[in-house]
């Protein structure tokens, strides 16, 4: 952002020479700022879908608020419609779940874990995995849902 000089063609020359026609222009050129903002917008639009865990499931809808984010990447456990249990994107047999969770808990600072379960999974299976999470050392379990679901107070959907 520099200052440029604009000519004053409407003024009369009274012997002051060329300097009389030049005055500082105090306008800010916002074009570079807009260019940078548009580039950042495109980068975030492309990167945002890549930040979710890549196991496709049909999450149930709810009207709950999102949890605040944290510095450490959250651990995500997923129950697929086929009954598989996945830690992040790695399938884990149900018998090996608690030892793996204990090993992961020993390396992490946070005891927060997000549990994603397909809406067609029986409640008993979800509770079984929640018990394994608790036995594995994770005490803060967040259930992941899609926003915009039905509200029980009669307002909205």
Encode pLDDT of 105-137 as tens digits.
888 888 888 898 888 888 898 899 889 888 888
Contacts made by residues 49-57, CB under 8 angstroms, sequence distance 24+ = 53/78, 53/88, 53/89, 53/116, 54/89, 55/80, 55/86, 55/89, 55/116, 57/81, 57/116, 57/117, 57/118
pTM over 0.85, yes/no: no
Give burial (CB, 10 Å; 0-12/13-18/19+) of 109.
exposed
CATH class of segment(s) 55-147:
alpha beta
The closest alpha carbon to 48, from 40, 58, 57, belongs to 40
């Amino acid at each position: 952002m520099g200052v440029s000089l604009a000519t004053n063609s409407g003024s009369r020359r009274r012997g002051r020479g060329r300097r009389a026609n030049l005055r500082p222009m105090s306008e800010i050129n916002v074009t570079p700022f807009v260019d940078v903002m548009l580039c950042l917008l495109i980068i975030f639009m492309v990167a945002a879908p890549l930040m979710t865990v890549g196991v496709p499931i049909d999450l149930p809808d709810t009207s709950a608020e999102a949890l605040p984010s944290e510095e450490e990447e959250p651990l995500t456990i997923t129950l697929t419609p086929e009954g598989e249990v996945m830690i992040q994107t790695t399938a884990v047999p149900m018998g090996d779940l608690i030892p793996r969770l204990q090993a992961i808990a020993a390396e992490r600072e946070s005891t927060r874990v997000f549990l994603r379960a397909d809406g067609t999974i029986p409640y008993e299976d979800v509770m079984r995995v929640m018990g394994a999470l608790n036995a594995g050392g994770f005490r803060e379990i967040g259930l992941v849902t899609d926003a915009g679901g039905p509200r029980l107070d009669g307002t909205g959907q």
